[in-house]
Amino acid sequence: MRITNYQTFIVGTPWRNLTYVLVETDTGLTGVGEARVVGKTHTVAQYLLDVRRHIVGHDPHDIEALYRRLTLLDFGSAGEVVMTGLALIEMACWDIIGKEAKLPVYQLIGGKVRDKVPAYANGWYTVDRTPEGFAAAAQRVTAKGYRAMKFDPFGNGDLELTRPEFRKSIEIIEAVRGAVGPDVELLIEMHGRFAPHQAVEIAKAIERFHPNWIEEPCRPEDVGALRHVAAHTSIPIATGERLYRAAQYRDLFEERSVHIIQPDINQCGGLFEVKKIASTAETYSVVVAPHNVGGIVSTTAALHLMVTLRNGKILEHFNDFVDEKIKQCGSPYPQVVDGFFQLPKGPGWGVELNIEFIRSNECRKVDGVYQDPGLNMFVDQNWHQRSQAT
């Protein structure tokens, strides 16, 4: 079997772009991949054109050889763009292999250790940045059956918060905890903003609310800063969504500075690379909660991975609260019921893309370049309100 062609389709929404790849083979089987990459949609699409020589003619069964082609033979540094492009094709190859074998992908990578996967909600707090606004929104999350939720209460803080902003952020967390009760998992997003001393002060102030983790308290590449924070709080540390290769996790594991890792299948080279990262994490007693900001394919692929992981913790989900129309990009869309995703079904990913819907919602181009929308929570203090307005 050989790859004969592939096409990219880019869906635009007010908040994000999703890139879909449809890979064709000489047997008539096709496979799909999906990625969401911030600020680089056009670059990734162009990259896939540039490496066509490595993909067309390749046997989709040879996953390791595909990885080698795009990270070694195509000489250069394999960063976010390369690893996202690789992930798109690699995910489609797994879909093809599963369809050929008439088996779901999870049965090809070790089989299941569970029948359902816990989910946590994100994207739900596009409201006024007040304790009252967050509390009311949090109650809507639990009303949908979620038992865990993530949120960023910190506005546009950078390295340090002003004292009024510090108090306001803590009040928001307190209000959410009060609104949802003691048994709902609260996951506190910090987006890598803070200096270690500020992250420690925040962590100490919120320990009484018993969050299940603080995420990216410091710059994600600053292992020493993460180690400092971990040494001064009882709250578990999560990070990893901005690491793109297995080797980048090595120091995190050796330093024992994190407790939860968050690799993203669609920006980390695909399913196999993340499976390797997760297996290494298990040897360090670290659990895995994949970063997932995608639509139907990314979410389904992450579920196929999660049901195979002995150290899988929980999976992120946005699409019940932001850009819900993204669910129409294919079927069947994996739903969260009583806080859990169910086991995926069907050969490959078990997903059929709705190409007509995807084409009718193509990303906007300006001067031939795909435009990345986006909430820039790092510079725009009003991103919650803006997202709600769109």
What is residue 8's three-state secondary structure?
A: strand
**Tokens describing residue 109:** 């990578």
Q: Where are the alpha helices (DSSP H) in 121-162?
A: 131-143
Give the contacts of 381 (CB within 8 A, at least 6 positions apart).
Answer: 129, 155, 156
Residue-by-residue DSSP string for 227-282? HHHHHT-SS-EEE-TT--SGGGGHHHHHHT--SEE---GGGTTSHHHHHHHHHHHH
CA distances from 108 to 87, 292, 349 (A): 17, 22, 11
**Tokens describing residue 250:** 């090595």
Q: How many residues does the chain have?
A: 390
Give the contacts of 124 (CB within 8 A, at least 6 positions apart).
Answer: 137, 138, 140, 141, 149, 151, 320, 321, 322
Question: CA 11 to CA 20: how far, in whole Å?
Answer: 8
Q: Where are the alpha helices (DSSP H) in the chain?
A: 41-50, 52-55, 63-68, 80-101, 131-143, 163-180, 196-206, 223-231, 250-255, 271-283, 296-306, 355-360, 383-389
- Choose, from 291, 304, 317, 384, the residue flagged as catalytic: 291
- Which 8-state DSSP code applies to residue 93? H
Question: CA 174 to CA 123: how far, in whole Å?
Answer: 19
- Choose, from 191, 228, 304, 317, the residue flagged as catalytic: 191
CA distances from 212 to 141, 185, 287, 366, 383 (A): 17, 6, 12, 42, 25
Please name the residue that has the structure tokens 């990578």: 109
Query: Would strands 330-331 and 352-353 be described as parallel, antiparallel, or unpaired?
Result: antiparallel
228 catalytic per annotation:
no
Is the bond preceding 332 in cis, omega lying within 30 degrees of 0? yes
Question: CA 90 to CA 282: how far, in whole Å?
Answer: 23
291 catalytic per annotation:
yes
Q: Cβ atoms within 10 A of the Cβ of 68, count?
A: 13
Task: State the catalytic residues.
Answer: 191, 291
